[in-house]
Amino acid sequence: METAVPIRGPFLRFLIGLGLACAAVVAVVGGIALRGPGLVAVCVSGALAGCVAAGVARENPTPARCSALEAVGMVAAVTIGALLVVSGTAVLAGGAAALLLVGVGVAAWAALRWARDRRAAAARPASVSGIHAVAGGWVPAPSPAVAGQATAALGEEWLRTGTELQGPLAPAARQRIVSRRAQVLDELERRDPAGFARWLAAGPMHGRDPAGYVRSEPPRADPSTETEAA
């Protein structure tokens, strides 16, 4: 029992190495069976898969572990190797065995992807800077009404939500933040139209705090002026 723990790691690596060696032999058999035109088709399939992987890596908003060039090489190599292994399996064991191998491979990939997503969801914090995690993406946490907040708080919210819009968000979350920012703008203009206009005229407003331009409340009319007007 005591020797099971230290042996487990080397034994697992031995099994992985043995499996890779067997897969390499089967891939060589598949390459020989395909010959020239078949090998060209396999290489073209690997290149197409690599191009798709490069596009996904560039569009991925989260920090990637590898560059787009590394993703192309890795995905192309895996695709070519998998096709050659399937071809070799069909030659050695028949088409039914090749189809079974493909089904097992797809099921294993789906299981690994599901397990990785579960681990990522478990490690993700429940709330990050006013954003809460739900099953469709990230959505903003409920915020108090803009009319009940101080101008300084509205300015801080404007800056914070502008930063959040630069990161990865679900479409529904992005729309809610945009709607909330529109409410903040309307409230700031209601409180001090002149100061709000100065803030707009000062230049780009996404990274500038409006609290330095807008008063807390709109100016009240002079009672004597209201009496004269009456």
Predicted TM-score (pTM) of this structure: 0.44
Highest mean pLDDT among 29-43, 175-189, 201-215: 175-189
What is the overall mean pLDDT for the chain?
A: 74
pLDDT in tens, 180-212: 989 988 988 888 888 888 888 887 777 778 888
Q: Where are the domains of the chain?
A: 18-123, 127-224
How far is CA 126 from each of CA 36, 121, 174, 177, rounded to the nearest angstrom? 54, 9, 18, 18
Which segments of the chain does DSSP mark as H helices, in order? 4-59, 68-93, 95-123, 151-165, 171-191, 193-201, 223-229
* pLDDT tens figures, 117-149: 777 666 554 444 444 444 444 444 445 677 778
Contact 213, 196 (CB under 8 A): yes
Per-residue pLDDT at 142: 45
Residue 78, pLDDT score: 85
**Could you give the count of Cα atoms lying within 13 Å of 70 in the half-sphere of its Cβ?**
4
**138 DSSP 8-state letter:** E
pLDDT band at 2 (very low <50, low <70, confident <90, very high): very low
- d(CA 158, CA 8) in angstroms, rounded, equals 55
Q: Who has greater pLDDT, 77 or 64?
A: 77
Q: Using N-to-C axis directions, what is the helix angle for 4-59 and 68-93, rounded to 10°?
A: 120
Name the percent of the chain lying above pLDDT 90: 0
pLDDT value for 127 = 41
- For 213, other C-beta atoms within 10 Å of its C-beta total 21
